[in-house]
Amino acid sequence: MSKLKSGSNLEKVLKAGHFAFTGECGPPKGANVAHLKEKFKYLKGNVDAVNITDNQTAVVRMSSMAGSALMIQEGLEPNFQMVCRDRNRLAIMSDILGAYALGIRNILCLSGDHQTFGNHPEAKNVHDIDSMQLIALVKKMRDQGKFMNGEDIDVPPKMFIGAACNPFADPYEYRVYRLANKITAGADFIQTQCIFNMDKFRDFMKKVVDMGLHEKCYILAGVTPMKNAGMANFMSKYVPGMDIPDSLVKRLKGVDKRDQSEEGIRFALEQVEEFKGMEGVAGVHMMAIEWEHMVPEIAERAGVLPRPVV
Amino acid sequence: MIVADRKSLQEILAMVEDDKEILIAGCKGCVTVCNAGGLKEVEILASSIKIARKKQGKDIDIEIEVLERQCDNEYIAGISEKVGNYDAVISLACGVGPQFLSEMYPDQTFYPGVNTTFLGGATQHGVWEERCAGCGTCAIHDFGGLCPIARCAKSLMNGPCGGSSQGICEVNKEIVCIWDLIVRKKMEAGKLADLMGVKGVKNWKSARHGGPRKSIREELVQGNI
Amino acid sequence: MRLSYPADVKIIQVPCTGRVDILHLLNAIEDGADGVYVAGCLEGECHYIEGNLKARRKVEYVKRTLTELGIEPERVQMYNLSSAQGARFAEIANEMVSQIRELGPSPVKKNNAA
């Protein structure tokens, strides 16, 4: 981790040793550029980079690539998400080159939620390669300047390679090894799935630190502020890979409906505070999906402003 | 073996709506084993169609025949004398059967009476599960004898994904997460090291993605192919 | 005719070379034979119509298998001749033996503990 791999803002912030703070933005269900730009306004200056999701939960939205390009135009830095569900290796390599050509410098390599979750469940899926192989592929394209088949790339894409990690999925004992594999494959940074079960996460991070993984890769802890108890309930039932402790749902239900969002934010802020001091955690990934207008307040109250300029 | 499920009666009745004389052709192969298209199922279908017709106040002549296998010209040649006697033929064999029949008897209409689904086996009496995707490059020994291509909803070679929860696939609670099984098997055998590293990308050319396939035993082919 | 052919050739008689199975050829190699050849009727003259053609295909299969295993496929051969061709029979025997001599002992023999 000596020379810059991509020169992205996120990479520079992490390399300089700052506690990173990234955000997330869901593209619109249409070509609604105005709506997207509205969201960007809340995020600009409050985060180091913004994830732009890729047909998340298999619901069709504007492409992550387009969203990322628009983001760059507005002066923010995108974290381009790419799922393996919808593209074969040809489209993947082609999109990586296209993304780089458009100025994108961060890429998050994902498998993708199964299409049966989404709004077009009858679609065929692709999964030509998986997220692990995608990480290795981006690394090959960046560091060796070669396509999967070994042919030379004329201008290689110098991407900062990210991957996801879900410490709450099963088998739990294996998750840290899978993380190790992603790092071996070439992941430069990791963003975890949103964390609610703090006990489990603390235990997970102990394992991560024991294996020295935090020294090979920057790990950002995922946080999603709960808007209300109903959201906690919904996520617990319908979103794959969630681990939401009853104590949190109780805490949210325990306050008046009007105050539930404040309680949700309070919980998130407590988490951020703990992550700042937790060994192995290099930053926080704040996923305030469809709540982007709250990010400035959350960032302020979390004490992460102003964002470092590197 | 090949597993199939009989199409709904509604669908089959619609196929032969205007037909007065039909043949229902079963098969003693895979569809007999998975109880979708053997003698019993052929008879049940014949009776069901007759009932439906009688209810409508109409009639239908149904003959039945259960062939040794419908995927062999030698056996389907056996109905050459009578195949022309019908308005249509419903084949309860897997998708291969009605196609072989259509090729041999181009002047007859063959309806598929079953939906052919997967390659699998019986896990208990009456229940069949998918085990093989026919990818053409079997490597189950790399995964403790379990196949992630067929049994992982995302065909991951480096699983499990983040949606695996309590041993169940995120797609639905009836599906076991095969990667959970693979990982646990390796952990229990003390062979977790086998899963470290990145499994190389798959060559899909030998699967259906590379185009319709052919399998040849040169030593058995007479003359030219 | 009293023509001589090498004593190295062990003859196994079959009513038709169609009777020869892939396993017969492979087992022979497995048990240490340096070479195996199948002598069938001239093509088109098989008494059982196609037996000799089937035999040729089986020989081809065994040749492919041997190649896959790193053993010279020339150790297994198909020949065609009529029962009236005594001289040709001796010729074939001599030809096969000298070819095998050139190839040397079967690599299987080295590892066959006696």
d(CA A268, CA A282): 17
Q: Do B222 and C60 touch (CB under 8 A)?
A: no
pLDDT in tens, C67-76: 988 999 999 9
- B2-118 carries CATH number 3.40.50.10190: no
Is C60 touching B (CB cutoff 8 A)?
A: yes
- Give the mean model confidence (pLDDT) for residues B69-83: 97
d(CA A196, CA A248): 8
> With contact defined as beta carbons under 8 Å apart, do A128 and B155 qualify?
no
pLDDT at B1 over 50: yes
pLDDT in tens, B123-176: 999 999 999 999 999 999 999 999 999 999 999 999 999 888 889 999 999 999
Is B224 touching C (CB cutoff 8 A)?
A: no
Share of chain A above pLDDT 70, in %: 99
pLDDT at A241 over 80: no
ipTM for the predicted complex:
0.92
- Give the mean model confidence (pLDDT) for residues A57-84: 97
pLDDT at B203 over 90: yes
Q: Which of C100, C109, C74, C108 is nearest to C10 (CA)?
A: C100
Q: What is the span of the domain harbouring residue C97?
A: 17-103
pTM to 2 decimals?
Answer: 0.90
- Domain ranges for chain B: 2-118, 133-198
Q: Do A184 and B192 touch (CB under 8 A)?
A: no
- Give the mean model confidence (pLDDT) for residues A129-156: 98
Instruction: State how far residue C62 is from chain B, nearest Cα, in angstroms.
Output: 9
Q: Are strands C76-80 and A281-286 parallel, antiparallel or unpaired?
A: unpaired
Give the relative orientation of helices A295-302 and A33-43 as an angle to the nearest 10 degrees.
10
d(CA A37, CA A217): 32
Q: Does residue C113 form part of some domain?
A: no
In this prediction, residue C114 has a pLDDT band, given cuts at 50, 70 and 90, of very low
> With contact defined as beta carbons under 8 Å apart, do A103 and A164 qualify?
no
pLDDT in tens, C42-101: 999 999 999 999 999 999 999 999 998 899 999 999 999 998 999 999 999 999 999 999
> With contact defined as beta carbons under 8 Å apart, do A260 and A231 qualify?
no
- Give the mean model confidence (pLDDT) for residues C1-16: 89
What are the residues whose beta carbons fall under 8 Å from the beta carbon of B193, sequence distance 6 or more?
none
Chains B and A touch (3+ CB pairs under 8 A): yes
How far from chain centre, in Å, is Cα C70? Answer: 18
d(CA A18, CA A20): 6
Q: What is the pLDDT of residue A1?
A: 46
> With contact defined as beta carbons under 8 Å apart, do A19 and A267 qualify?
no
> With contact defined as beta carbons under 8 Å apart, do A190 and A162 qualify?
yes
Domain count, chain C: 1
Q: Do C22 and B219 touch (CB under 8 A)?
A: yes
Q: What is the pLDDT of residue A239?
A: 76
In this prediction, residue B225 has a pLDDT band, given cuts at 50, 70 and 90, of low
Burial class of A229 by CB neighbour count within 10 A (0 to 12, 13 to 18, 19+):
buried
Residue type, A224: T
pLDDT at C113 over 60: no
Chains that touch A (3 or more CB pairs under 8 A): B
- Give the mean model confidence (pLDDT) for residues A116-141: 96
Q: Do B200 and A133 touch (CB under 8 A)?
A: yes
In this prediction, residue C111 has a pLDDT band, given cuts at 50, 70 and 90, of low
Q: Are strands B88-91 and B61-67 parallel, antiparallel or unpaired?
A: unpaired
Q: What is the pLDDT of residue A2?
A: 66
Q: What is residue A57's DSSP assignment? A: G
- Buried b / exposed e across A87-114, counting CB within 10 Å, b at 16+? bebeebbebbbebbebebbbbbbbbbbb
Instruction: State how far residue A90 is from chain B, nearest Cα, in angstroms.
Output: 13
Q: What is the pLDDT of residue C3?
A: 83
What are the residues whose beta carbons fall under 8 Å from the beta carbon of A301, sequence distance 6 or more?
A265, A269
**Domains contained in chain A, CATH given:** 10-302 (3.20.20.220)
Q: Does residue C93 form part of some domain?
A: yes
Q: Which residue among B166, B171, B180 places its CB closest to the CB of A116? A: B171
Q: What is the pLDDT of residue A3?
A: 87
Which chain B residues are closer than 8 Å to A193 by Cβ?
162
Cβ within 8 Å of B, C 14-53: 22, 50, 53
Average pLDDT, chain B: 95
Q: Does residue C109 form part of some domain?
A: no
Question: What does C16-38 look like in DSSP terms, one character per residue?
Answer: -GGG--HHHHHHHHHTT-S-EEE
Specify the range with the lowest mean pLDDT, choosing from A245-254, B94-103, C89-98.
Answer: A245-254
Q: Do B219 and C61 touch (CB under 8 A)?
A: yes
In chain C, whose CA is at the least distance from the CA of B220?
Answer: C57
Residue type, C5: Y
Cis before C105? omega within 30:
no
